[in-house]
A and B are shown apart, each in its own frame.
Chain A
Amino acid sequence: MSHEVDEYNSKDEPKETSGGMDHSPSDDSSDWRRTKRVYAYCADRLGLDLLVDLGQKKLVPIHRTTPFYYLGGMALFLVIVMFGTGVLLALHYKPSADRAFDSVQSIMTDVQFGWLIRSVHAWGAALLIAVLILHLLTTYMMRAYRRPREYTWVTGCFLLGLFMAFGFSGYLLPWNQLAFFATRVGTAIVGVVPVVGEELLIWARNGEDVTGDTLARFHSLHVSIFPLIALVLLGAHLFLVQKHGMSVPDAAAKAAGGKNRVPSIPFVPDFLLRDAVGWYLAIALLALLSAIFPWELGEQADPFGSAPEGIKPEWYFMFMFQALKLIPAHVFGLEGEMLGVMFFGFCGLIVLLVPFLDWGQRSRQVLNGLAIISLIFAIVMTIWGYLA
């Protein structure tokens, strides 16, 4: 609560605790004394001092690209929103092929504010992936993945993959036409992986085709297995962020004349307050989107009906979907699909290994070139996918 910043020497402002609280230790109101007593009681028994230490130590450098730091906090906030709304949805959702659609329809019509919770969950997912992608790109641009933060990057990459898997598994749960066929196509892609593809496909679908069994599997992945993995990875990621502090980009350090000459603010509460502004804006955006564009329900899946027109995956899979659609059936005697899947797998691996590939001016130029090309590729493919 009382974080003294000795270096702080403002002329206009009175010397303040950067705790930012109204009460300073010198304020001897009874209120404050009571708070102090409660804190002391808890700190003593719950080891709060460790957390407080961690909070106090963390500083956030202020420079031109500081706004990028908000993305991580924003992602964390959205993850919390997703956990919250997800837990709520699970209270009304019924994971079986013949009841899933009805129960989601019921959530949208009969359950009070069901439309809101479901729409926030669906819009939140889209927003989360967007924020994560921006987080990844800005981290790359600031080269914040360098020693000693390699594993912060690696865990982050895994988290992005995991949240995409969250999105993919969650897309099927309403058991509507679009989701059913998108899942069929999406899982079929797994099947073209060499050697283990077929086995993987059977495993992913929990059978030879997308059925109620697939729904059961996707549901269990979505609500229990993925969240557990997410907690572990997120814990590791946050621990590493906390451990290594915020990375200062080269340009900012140079502009300030040395890394240690970059001005900074304490994370608690200054940066947290700024984060909170973003979070409120995110809540407002989600409420706005949900109230005005409630997430669609579609038509109940008919496994034996023909595929509906315009089946499309979630937007963040669109570039892959479109690229795989365009790839010819056979390239150099190899199956086109397989080649495409291998290519995307390889791209993913490169992204994951960025911290270990950036070993000099030359390799960085190659990486930057690749990054720009793949970014343009993904954007073009996504737009193409939506226009087609």
Chain B
Amino acid sequence: MKNLPVILVMLVSAGVLLRMAEQQTVAQVESENTTEAEQKIAEATSRKDSSCMKCHGEADLWEGDRLRYFITENHLAKDLHWKKGIQCDDCHGGNPESMNFREAHSAEAGYRVISTPQDIPQFCGHCHSNVEYMSRYSPSPKTNQESDFWTGGHGRRLKENPEAGVANCVSCHGFHGILPIDDQTSPTYPKNVAKTCATCHSDAEKMAGIDYHGRPIGHDQYELWSTSVHASLLMEKGDLSAPTCNDCHGNHGAVAPDVNSVASACATCHVKIGELFNSASMKHRFEQASLPGCATCHGKHDIHQPTDDLLGLDMGAVCASCHLDGKFGATLAGSMEAKMMGERLKELKERIASSEAKVEHAEQLGMEVRRAKFRLHDAHTALNNARVAIHSFAQEPMKETIEKGLSVTQEVDEQAEAALREHTFRRIWLALFLVPIAMAVVLLILFIQTQPPPTIQNLEH
């Protein structure tokens, strides 16, 4: 009986060992099963392209110039089409099941040849212009990319001359690694669009000798745009709704907006200004003089945050450039209107600045004036609205918003002054409060002096 514990321990450990061995075999079987299943799935999914990849995925078969035909699944891994299950032959046509080169790439089997860049839009359009096909991916698909493209500057030039080297689908979208536009690494992601366009349009050599409407096209657009308020909004503040190249020039049918439709392009975002400009007489004057709407004053690509100095007749004012010299039939009377508007703006700006100074002063004195500060936003909004109203090219529409802004500044002034009064009140209160305290202290000290001096007493009571 002495050995009982030992036997027990042995029995238990034997049991544990057996159980472990059992689990191991189960695990092995399971792992074998999964690899088998995986293989089956892999085979099933790569059934068709396996014959394409058998040659195209073989590195040894391709060299030199032909290396571009070397395609593996790795090349395609991030591709939007590949991820949606679109196979080689869905785009390229041909017979994917044939291992014979000629048969696989034969016209009878529907193989689509790209012999010049001219063929590419059609190649993509095979699906992208097919409403029925594209409906699989989106309930109301856009299928006008190809037709748009042919109407645009790139398309027209490509049609004239297949070797012109102008952009086609793959220039911007890439090919075997096409990314969706919301992928931050995609060349068509809003933040990357300008850079993508710039690969050609900033290339002086490429742009040399190209005319657009009789003028050289130039190669400084990207550089100019980069300094614009739009670029800083998009690139620095990350506001993806801020315009980059395609927002004004269109996506696939890229052209420069027509001289008379510049305002329409700007008005897609600057709604209110667009409305005002469209109903202003100035619009027709611009049209008559073939001036490019908004761009006349604000510039094209390098559109900066406009300043109030643009308005009026002083140095740097855009109005002056026509109205002072009487160019395009501009009158001096019109310039007076601009001058008056400038003065109204200045008045509101000065009032806001003075209100701000008052609030700031109160704040520096340690007063709590957050609410007044917040109210100042409304004055700034009014100022901005007044600036918008400039585009009616008349004083009257501006008046109301200016007055609203002025009333806000008055309200803010009152609050700031109240804070300053409160500040003074606190000091007066302090002074008044300290008087009796000082008297009490003096009297207490005097009274203490009349108290008897210390005596020797038994401290251990």
What is A's interface to B at a CB cutoff of 8 Å? 5, 7-10, 13, 16, 18, 20, 57, 59, 61-62, 105, 108-109, 115-116, 245-246, 248, 259-265, 269-270, 273-274, 276-277, 280-281, 283-284, 287-288, 291-294, 297
Contacts and interface: CB of A to CB of B under 8 A. Distances in A.
Nearest to A56: B461
B441 interface: yes
B174 interface: no
A254 to B, nearest CB: 15
B370 A105 contact: yes
A280 B444 contact: yes
B270 interface: no
Nearest to B447: A273
A62 B429 CA distance: 38
Contact of A7 (B371, B429, B457): B457
Given A263-B456, A269-B451, 10 more contacts: A7-B455, A10-B452, A18-B451, A260-B459, A263-B457, A280-B437, A291-B426, A291-B427, A293-B366, A294-B366
A252 B186 CA distance: 86
Smallest CB-CB A-B distances: 7 pairs: A263-B454, A291-B430, A62-B454, A109-B368, A291-B426, A108-B368, A284-B437
A24 to B, nearest CB: 13
B22 interface: no
Q: Specify the main secondary structure of chain B where it touches its partner.
A: helix
B440 interface: yes
Q: Which of B430, B459, B461 has the most CB of A within 10 A?
A: B459
B434 A270 contact: no
B444 A262 contact: no
A8 B440 contact: no
Contact of B459 (A8, A9, A61, A277): A61
Contacts of A13: 452
A265 B448 CA distance: 11
B430 A287 contact: yes
Contacts of B371: 109
A7 B430 CA distance: 45
B42 interface: no
A292 B430 CA distance: 9
A150 B135 CA distance: 88
Nearest to B425: A291
A61 B408 CA distance: 67
Contacts of A59: 457, 459, 461
Nearest to A297: B368
A141 B227 CA distance: 70
Interface in B398-443: 426-427, 429-430, 433-434, 437-438, 440-441
A201 to B, nearest CB: 34
Given A105-B368, A270-B451, A277 B441 contact: yes
Nearest to B429: A291
Interface in B179-233: none
B368 to A, nearest CB: 5
7 contacts: A8-B452, A260-B459, A273-B447, A287-B430, A287-B433, A294-B366, A297-B368
Given A270-B451, A291-B430, A260 B458 contact: yes
B329 interface: no
A381 B370 CA distance: 35
Contacts of A261: 456
Given A277-B448, A281-B441, A262 B453 contact: no
A265 B459 contact: no
Contacts of B454: 62, 263-265
A59 B455 CA distance: 10
B30 interface: no
Q: Which of B427, B433, B451, B461 has the most CB of A within 10 A?
A: B451
A273 B448 CA distance: 7
Contacts of B366: 292-294
A273 B450 CA distance: 12
A115 B426 contact: yes
Nearest to A270: B451
Contacts of A105: 368, 370
A263 B456 CA distance: 4
A20 B456 contact: no
Interface string B132-165: 0000000000000000000000000000000000
B445 interface: yes
A67 to B, nearest CB: 14
B32 interface: no
Nearest to B438: A284
A373 to B, nearest CB: 34
B444 A276 contact: yes
Contact of A10 (B370, B440, B453, B459): B453
Given A259-B459, A291-B426, A18 B452 contact: yes
A276 B451 CA distance: 15
Contacts of A297: 368
Contact of B448 (A61, A245, A260, A270): A270
A248 B444 contact: no
A264 B456 contact: yes
B460 interface: yes
A264 B448 contact: no
Contacts of A287: 430, 433-434, 437
Contacts of A281: 441
B426 A284 contact: no
Contacts of A9: 455
Contacts of B458: 260
A114 to B, nearest CB: 10
Contacts of A284: 434, 437-438, 441
B359 to A, nearest CB: 13
A8 B440 CA distance: 28
B455 A264 contact: yes
B105 to A, nearest CB: 58
A7 B455 CA distance: 7
Contacts of A293: 366
Contacts of A270: 448, 451-452
Contacts of B438: 284
A259 B457 CA distance: 10
B437 A283 contact: yes
A288 B456 contact: no
A108 B370 CA distance: 11
A280 B440 contact: yes
A248 B371 CA distance: 58
A57 B459 CA distance: 9
Contacts of B427: 291-292
Nearest to A288: B430
Contacts of A8: 452, 455
